[in-house]
Amino acid sequence: MNAADNVAILTEKGMAPAGHKVARVAIPQGAAVIKYGQTIGYATAPIAVGDHVHSHNCAFGVHDRDYQPGSALPAAEAALERHRGKALTFQGYHRAGGQVGTRNFIALVATVNCSATVIRRAAEELRIEGALAPYPNVDGVVAFAHGTGCGMADSGPGWQALQRVLTGHAGHPNVGAALFVGLGCEVMQIARMKQELGEAARFHGLTIQDNGGTRTTIEAIKARVRQMLPQVNAATRAPAPAGALKIGLQCGGSDGFSGITANPALGVASDILAAQGASVVLSETPEIYGAERLLLDRATRPDLADRLLERLRWWEDYTARNGASLDNNPSPGNKAGGLTTILEKSLGAVAKAGATPLNAVLEYGEPITEPGLNFMDTPGYDPVSATGQIAGGAQLIVFTTGRGSAFGSKPAPTIKLATNDRLYAAMRDDMDLNCGDILSGVTLEEKGRQIVDLILRVASGEVTRSEDLGLGDNEFLPWQIGAVV
């Protein structure tokens, strides 16, 4: 708790549900409600000491825009130095060009919704037929199907975003070989994909129209995969530095504990990994709204601050044009868990990014090339956001949750962190690590190191809960930007 806070979080059910806020002091109507040392809203009625503080008496309002880009950079650089330690390693798949994978998939990538069925059917038939049984080093055949690729402009933000997603998944370090499958007449042409990836890329292409229809294309896909399997299986794990990792940071189904347990613990892990030269990627632009100063003040260059502010202005305009507000978030589940405004949720969400310098601001699905903290512009909707991070090259997703999100991802596995003991006990099959014990004395530093250890084990092949449950086939969801025509 920050000394400036005028609310406290209940760790057990009492005057309000666990995770909710109560007033530490009397708060007059119109006064700021302070949590994490920051304004999270304004009292809409007088609030007495001990009163429950939530949507009935606290509302969204103006937030701190006293931006001083780079002003916190010395402290951020000191945080990076403080976390430098012995070199950490994992066992990964070394790819051409220096990439290192944590998994070894064959990817079937639809260029258009018209080819979604054939790639899904081919992947399922190969599984039923046991085609992968003789190839223990192949993690699976995954079908990346989506609902767009045509009825769209052949240039501009929408086309560029989808192109980055498709090429990013085909050329992903966790993919040993890829096959693009199209209809043949769509806007998103395979020839352009080949141009983007280059001749040395690990992929092939075919179309339904050239192959004579649906059934013959399914058989052609299966035949191609059977040809790929021996070569993909030949890849084996070898030691790699932790600096080769790119980690997507996600949170979903957040609660009042997210900002004091799992998120700041993941922030410590982010700092440790950044000090190793790894890339950590914060996203979900609508969910940093109100807390952007915490990133801007540690931007390493003025243009990064300008780029982040431009994206926030775009989101303000985008939501306004569609009759919405950025405070439409938190969701009903977030509010049931104790989060009242987007300002409160954002301050907790930004904690995942730790305390080190901000080195890059990326467009959706843009390749992740800078070590340390990156920010990628994405929606707050988890499948869309994680799809962009994976397209950028993230080999793992670390996902904090307080309400319990049933989420997984491919080809990059998802690690789930529970924010509280109750959730961890209730959804034990879904959660990889409990961060609720921070409330009973485990330090953030200790938990952060536990998270790093888990990340390295999963990067080396340990199966996550979401992988064991078979999640990840339906969470590929590219951000559809622009007009459908």
Predicted confidence (pLDDT) per residue in 405-441, tens digit: 999 999 999 999 999 999 999 999 999 999 999 999 9
What tokens does 369 get?
């090339």
Domains 7-59 and 105-234 share a fold: no
Q: What is the pLDDT of residue 196?
A: 67
- Is it true that the peptide bond before 136 is cis, omega within 30 degrees of 0? no
Q: In sequence order, what are the residues at sequence separation of 6 or more whose Cβ sits closer than 8 angstroms to the Cβ of residue 242?
A: 87, 88, 89, 90, 273, 276, 277, 278, 456
Number of other CB atoms surrounding residue 179 within 10 Å: 22
Predicted confidence (pLDDT) per residue in 55-100, tens digit: 999 998 887 788 999 999 999 999 999 999 999 999 999 998 899 9
Q: What is the pLDDT of residue 16?
A: 86
Q: Give the mean model confidence (pLDDT) for residues 450-459.
A: 98
Q: Give the mean model confidence (pLDDT) for residues 101-110.
A: 97
What amino acid occupies position 68? Q
Number of other CB atoms surrounding residue 357 within 10 Å: 21
Does residue 111 register a pLDDT over 80? Answer: yes
- Is it true that the peptide bond before 367 is cis, omega within 30 degrees of 0? no
Predicted confidence (pLDDT) per residue in 163-186, tens digit: 999 999 999 999 999 999 999 999
CA distance 1 to 34: 10
User: Does pTM surpass 0.85?
Assistant: yes
Predicted confidence (pLDDT) per residue in 264-323, tens digit: 999 999 999 999 999 999 999 999 998 999 999 999 999 999 999 999 999 999 999 888
Burial class of residue 241, CB neighbours in 10 A (0-12, 13-18, 19+)? middle
Instruction: Look over the chain and give the mean of its residue pLDDT values, rounded to a whole number.
Output: 94
324 pLDDT band, cuts 50/70/90, is: confident
Q: What is the pLDDT of residue 180?
A: 94
Q: What is the pLDDT of residue 266?
A: 98
Percentage of residues of the chain with pLDDT beyond 70: 98
Does residue 329 register a pLDDT over 80? Answer: no
Domain positions in the chain are 7-59, 73-84+240-468, 105-234
Q: What is the pLDDT of residue 333?
A: 85
Please report where in the chains the tokens 């078979």 appear, as a residue: 470
Cross-sheet strand order for the sheet of 175-182:
140-144, 105-110, 175-182, 203-207
Does residue 326 register a pLDDT over 90? Answer: no
Q: What is the pLDDT of residue 201?
A: 54
Does residue 232 register a pLDDT over 90? Answer: yes
Predicted confidence (pLDDT) per residue in 193-218, tens digit: 777 666 545 568 999 999 999 999 99
- Which numeric CATH code is attached to 7-59? 2.30.130.110
Q: What is the pLDDT of residue 190?
A: 86
CA distance 355 to 374: 12
Does residue 187 register a pLDDT over 70? Answer: yes
Range with the largest mean pLDDT of 58-72, 127-141, 334-348: 127-141
What tokens does 125 get?
């038939």
Contact between residue 360 and residue 349 where contact means Cβ atoms under 8 Å apart: no
CATH class of 105-234: alpha beta
